[in-house]
Structure 1
Amino acid sequence: MFLIPDAVVRFYHRMASPPHFYTFTEQCMPWLVGVFVILVSAGLVGGLYLAPADYQQGDSYRIIYIHVPSAWMSLFIYIVMAVAGAIGLVWRIKLAEVVLVSSAPIGAAFTFIALVTGSLWGKPMWGTWWVWDARLTSELVLLFLYLGVMGLYGAMDDKRVASKAVAILALVGVVNIPIIHYSVEWWSSLHQGPTVITKTGKPAMHSSMLIPLLLMALAFKVYYVIALMQRARTELLSRERNSQWVKNKIAMGAKL
């Protein structure tokens, strides 16, 4: 039988505590910002300057260094929301609810960027800004799901009830994720196939193009963590404003 180490269990319980989470994120933030700056700088220089032009698309392909990581993040963040929603429903962990509602605006932003950059890329490649392609349409549905979570949460005054409602919506909407991912394989599509790994398991791009793309993808994930921490801290302060630990934080800030 697989046993979870006690240290992992203790860390999990500490992170589920709002005051400990708030302090932990406060300490991590400068390091995360530094890592993000390094990664995004290396990715942009490698992708926009060092990587060679594509033999078919020329320099127009370079938009993938924004488009592809944004599209990946749009799926990744929704999965995080669904998992957080399930944890919040089953174990009633307040921090899981906070992660869900705090992730929605970030995921919506990444999805919007993916759609806009995809349109900019599609115009020279397909001759049109938009087609009702399976991949594009399901990605648009994902944007509406993010907006639905945000709207539903904001429409309810009782935030604990609102958290349960958006958790259910997030879990129902997660069925759209495999549709987006496999749409280019299930249906005839103008959208190109896998960007990184082909069906044969071989890289779909030369390493000089692939490495900057992976750096940008990692940079976007670090950015998500930074933005999530910032939004989660604000949400926690709002929910816990009558708690003693929040009053102590305010008192310490007033002394400074």
Structure 2
Amino acid sequence: MRKTLFNTLFLISSAILQGCGSYDEEIHFYAPRVEVYKEKFQLESNDYVGTALKQRLSIIDTAEADLGYGGGGQVVAQCSLKTINGRITGRLVTVDTTFFKDTFDFDERGVMVAGAPYGEVLRHSTVFHEFGHCALDRLKHNCASKPNGYPASIMHTYVVNSSEFVTDYRRYIDELFINSEIFPKGATAPSGATSETVIPFDGCAGESGTASLSASVSGEQTHTFFTKCVDMNKHKNSMDGRSVPNIQCWHE
């Protein structure tokens, strides 16, 4: 799949988060536990597909494990689909414990500090992306862009910019569910969006591999989607001597 970097400099202020009801009214800042996001995903799905996902979500496994990020690796979250003859038989969403505990934000002085609110935005969009693969069977990324150039979908190969996710939260959730195969044809989302009005699907150039599950391949296989991040400033320091991360994340 296409590997693309999108600079997600964590420059959002708490004032933005607190001032946008479209996000803050519906999302409370959670502890970094993957099961919490699974529960939120279930609540969101009820508004779009009723209880159609309830049984599927009940059998999706989640895990918090060492995916290697703290040791120099790049993987921070992943969705693994097990298949037999092209039929999905197992679903697992895993997040890296180090990354999810060490996400950070800027304080009022512009200094990086650990924890929410920005860490929450990154965790939220990342886990929802992986559930898009594992729960909604969205096996291809949506590389559509908004007029301002930002990703129009959580399922983009770029990680959605934090302020965009906050201010346009409902549209991102609309796109996530409406462009899935399980959204009822002709149905209308709570926001009033339909398949005719939501941002359309736009495939990513060169995407292959886990973009499709072939029934012609016999036997058991595992298909894995990844979210990866790197700290571009790992060896650089701010003027006062403290390390200032410059995290860049992308989806594969």
Greater share of residues in helix: 1
Greater share of residues in strand: 2
TM-score of the two chains, using structure 2 as the length reference = 0.25
TM-score of the two chains, using structure 1 as the length reference = 0.24
Q: Tell me which structure has the larger Cα radius of gyration.
A: 1
